[in-house]
Amino acid sequence: MSEPVFGNEKTGSIRDIPLPGKEGRTQDAPNLKTQPARERTQDLKGWKPMNKKGKSPLVKILSGLVILLTALFILGSLLHRAELSIIPKEETVEIVNVLTATNDGEEGSVAFARVSPFEVTESLFIQGSVEENVQTKASGKITVKNTTASQQRFIPRTRFETPDGLVYRTPRSVVIPAGGETEITVTADIPGAEYNSESGLTFTLPGLKGTAGFDSFSAVQSGVIDGGFSGVITTATKDELAAGQKELESRLKEKMKTDLASRITTGYMTADDFMNISNISFSEKPDEQKGGINVIAQGTIEAVMFNRQEFDNFVASSVLKDYTPGQSVTIQNLDKLKMNIATENFDLQEDNEFDFTLESLGTTGTSFVWNVDKEAVKEAVAGKSESAVTQGLIAELSGTQSVEVQVSPFWKSKIPQKVTRIEVQVK
């Protein structure tokens, strides 16, 4: 038997003869086209892909710029803020004017409101130094009711009578509103302790007997009525009483102004000449235990008042050349502006119009400062460029002397659209 060809145990074949250029190929080389997919995957493991071609420098620069611009846009949106520093306009003038006030604020006048009259009481104890036969009248509070549709004014010394015939009088004129009631002070008609009462008295008005009004008005005791006395007691001399009354009157007036201030509506103002203090009276109540006398002072105060902002704007419109209707100003030194009612016999509760004078005190004049509405300014400048934020272009800034705008970050040229990102400082 002949030897196997090419070292193969099988009989050789012409297909086993190596072809030129194919020396590295053998019959055992895998055929990828005919191999199953799973086997091909296993055979390809470990193969390294070809290196990709690197990006050009221009593409890298453009990509970096895009990223940078995007970051700046986001950062700018987060940090976008604006701050306005405003110095308001200010003007000082000397005022000597006569102006008009009306109850309805008709054209050419400023509107006023009223503070209804009310009573104020203050007392002072004077230590006794002499014994005298003292005769004092009881006094106290009653509440008068009006059931008619019209207010009623009662003259001083109007009588109020109890069912058992005790007569008390009001020492001053009083007004009872229509369908309402008012608390007033009454004083016994004659001295004596029998007029003293803790509570429970009722009253009619004997002066109205025989008229329809007799049943329309009534009164009840609303406070202790006391001080009535007749007898010998340790009391003060006439000079001591006079000095005590003088001190007491001064204290009473100060208390009246304090009590009036508490009744002035928020945002309103008044002045000394716009109020009226009247019907000041004194009564004496002996204090046997202390050995002296209590002096009681009573008085009535009423006033007219003005809305402070309307008043300041009205005065500005009357005395300032550089004032535009609709602007808001404040009189800085109102206490240096003397105000007097010029209309004679003006009734604070009845009359609906009066003239009043204004006069600057001292040498500094009266100072006006324009008000800046911060929220209105924010709304007006939102979204505007810095160059557009001037007095001439934005009406809300017409009352300013200067405006400085600072926008951040520095590359932002416009004020934020959101007002919450805008801060306004008035210097």
Q: Which residues contact 359 (CB under 8 A, 6 or more apart)?
A: 95, 96, 97, 337, 338
Domain for residue 204, yes or no? Answer: yes
- CA angle 27/31/35 to nearest 5° reads 130
Cβ-based neighbour number of residue 225 at 10 Å: 24
Q: Answer yes or no: is 217 within a domain.
A: yes
Would you say residue 183 has pLDDT above 90? yes
User: Quick one: pLDDT at residue 50?
Assistant: 52
The continuous run of DSSP H or E covering 77 comes out as helix 57-79
Output the pLDDT for position 56.
Answer: 80
Per-residue confidence (pLDDT) for residue 204, from 0 to 100: 94
Give the pairing type, strands 96-102 and 110-111: parallel
pLDDT band at 427 (very low <50, low <70, confident <90, very high): confident
Query: Is 297 within a domain?
Result: no
Distances (CA, A) of 104 to 290, 340, 355: 54, 20, 14
Indicate the residue type of 362.
G
What does the pLDDT read at residue 6? 45
Average pLDDT of the residues in 178-204: 94
Asked if residue 292 lies in contact with residue 236, where contact means CB atoms within 8 angstroms, the answer is: yes
Q: pLDDT tens digit string along 255-292?
A: 999 999 999 999 999 999 999 999 898 888 888 888 88
Residue 174 inside a domain? The answer is yes
Residue 51's pLDDT is 53
Assigned domain for 354 exists: no
Q: State the Cα–Cα distance between residues 302 and 348, nearest whole angstrom.
A: 7
The neighbour count for residue 179, using CB atoms within 10 Å, is: 12
Residues 210/171, Cβ–Cβ less than 8 Å: no
Q: Which of 345, 338, 337, 311 is nearest to 101 (CA)?
A: 311
In this structure, of 34-43, 80-89, 148-157, 209-218, the range with the lowest mean pLDDT score is 34-43
Distance in angstroms (rounded) separating the CA atoms of residues 204 and 161: 5
Using pLDDT thresholds of 50, 70 and 90, give the confidence band for residue 71.
low
Instruction: Give 308-335 pLDDT, tens digit per residue.
Output: 999 999 999 999 998 999 899 999 999 9
- Residue 201 belongs to what domain range? 138-226
pLDDT-derived band of residue 26, with 50, 70 and 90 as boundaries? very low
Check residue 7 and give its pLDDT: 47
User: Radius of gyration over alpha carbons of the chain, in Å?
Assistant: 49
Instruction: Write out pLDDT tens, residues 366-411.
Output: 999 999 999 999 999 999 998 888 877 888 888 899 999 999 988 8
Per-residue CA distances from 121 to 141, 157, 270, 302 (Å): 11, 18, 22, 15
Contacts of residue 150, defined as CB under 8 A and 6 or more positions apart, other chains included, come to 178
The pLDDT confidence band at residue 28, using thresholds 50, 70 and 90, is low
Nearest in space to 88 (alpha carbons), one of 309, 369, 315, 374: 369
Chain-centroid distance of CA 130 in Å reads 56
Which tokens belong to 274? 């716009």
Round the average pLDDT of the chain to a whole number and report it: 86
Q: How confident is the model at residue 16 (pLDDT cuts 50, 70, 90)?
A: low
Who contacts 20 (Cβ-Cβ below 8 Å, separation ≥6)? none
**Domains: count for the chain:** 1
Torsion of CA 372, 376, 382, 386, to 10 degrees: -20
**% pLDDT > 70, the chain:** 86
pLDDT at 364: 86
The predicted model gives 9-32 an average pLDDT of: 51
pLDDT at 41 over 70: no
Q: What is the pLDDT of residue 115?
A: 94
**178 CB-near residues (< 8 Å, 6+ apart):** 146, 148, 149, 150, 151
Higher pLDDT, 307 or 129: 307
Q: Which two tokens stand for residue 226?
A: 């006391």
Say which CATH number the domain at 182 has. 2.40.30.10
% residues pLDDT > 90 (the chain): 60
Task: Determine, yes or no, domain membership for 165.
Answer: yes
Rounded to two decimals, the pTM is 0.65
CA angle 117, 119, 122 (to 5 degrees): 150
Residue 144 domain-assigned (yes or no): yes
Residue 24 predicted with pLDDT over 60 = no
Three-class secondary structure of residue 148 per DSSP: coil
Residue 408 phi, psi dihedral angles, 5° rounding: -135, 150
Higher pLDDT, 75 or 415: 415
CB of 366 closer than 8 Å to CB of 69: no
Determine the Cα–Cα distance for residues 343 and 109; give it in Å rounded to an integer.
Answer: 14
